[in-house]
Structure formats: C-alpha cells, structure tokens
Amino acid sequence: MLFPTNFIMMENQILNILHRSQLSITDGRKSILRLFLESDNALAHHDIEARTQVKFDRVTVYRTLQIFMEKGIIHTIPTADNSIKYALCRDECEQGHHHDDHVHFVCKKCGSTVCLEDVHVPAVRLPKGFKPQQVEVVVSGTCKECS
C-alpha cells in the first residue's frame, strides 16, 4: 500500500514530536496530535473527542492533553465562557517552559479560535514586587472567513 507524501511527512512529524518529548508512541497520542497538526484552529476537549479516529474515553483524552501541556506540545487558550481550548506550541516550547507570547483571536460568528503567531503580546510593566507567570491576550471579533 502506498501512502501520499504528505501523510508520511505528518506521521514523521508526529513521531518526532513524541520522541523529542520522551513520550511513548500510542495510537491515542498519535491520533490527538494528528488533529492538532491538521487544524488551523484551537480545539476544545469535545472537539477532540468527536474528531479522533481512535475512540477512547474522556479520561484518556484529558490525560493526553495534560501530558502534552506538561511537555510543551500544546498550550491553553482561555475563552469567554471559562472553558479551555488547546493549540499546538511552537518549537521553542519545552517541558515546563511555554513561550507562547502571541495573541489569540476568537471569532464571534463561527467561534473559531486562532493563534496569531505574528502578533506578539505587548510588554506589560508591573509594579515593583509583582512577578508575572503568564500573560494572555485574547482579541474577539470577526475572522477573515466570516467577514
């Protein structure tokens, strides 16, 4: 059976990410990682459950997302309804050190959430004695597909 080149490239990318993060290679991890690589938008937990090729329970999805966050593979994006969406990190992220200093955009029409990698979070000057751990900037409006 012959596989298209882009399928082989994606499989290699998945294996490289899991290997670099020192994670065992399982069908569930591969399936969830494939969803992130194929998606232009951030994904919610229910999106992942509904779209994975390998069917597994909510706890397995949750644990996979947690380990991916710990290893610097994905990051969280806050939403207006206090739920969480997840998106792939850039290559600079690693275990315990996320470098996601970009703006997130949420479309009010279609609900998509997108990482705007080229739009950086402006520097925030805090008063003496304050130490930031994370700065999140979420812009809402209408995406280019809905405009």
Does any domain span residue 74?
yes
Mean pLDDT computed over every residue of the chain: 85
Does any domain span residue 147?
no
Enumerate residues 6+ apart whose C-beta is below 8 A from 13: 37
- Average confidence (pLDDT) over 103-110: 89
Does any domain span residue 29?
yes
Maximal C-alpha separation, the chain: 63
Query: How far is CA 143 from each of CA 71, 102, 112, 115, rounded to the nearest angstrom?
Result: 30, 17, 8, 12
Does any domain span residue 44?
yes
Angle between helices 27-38 and 5-20 (to 10 degrees): 120
| Interval 21-79: pLDDT, tens | 999 999 899 999 999 999 989 999 888 988 876 777 888 899 999 999 999 899 888 88
| Interval 9-34: pLDDT, tens | 889 999 999 999 999 999 899 999 99
Does any domain span residue 64?
yes
Note whether 52 and 31 are within 8 A (CB): yes
* Range(s) of the domain holding residue 61: 5-141
Does any domain span residue 146?
no
Sign of the CA dihedral with 93 first, then 98, 99, and 105 last: positive
Please give the tally of structural domains in the chain. 1
User: Whole-angstrom Cα distance, residue 56 to residue 62?
Assistant: 11
DSSP state of 82: S
| Its pTM surpasses 0.85 | no
- What CATH number is associated with residue 12? 1.10.10.10
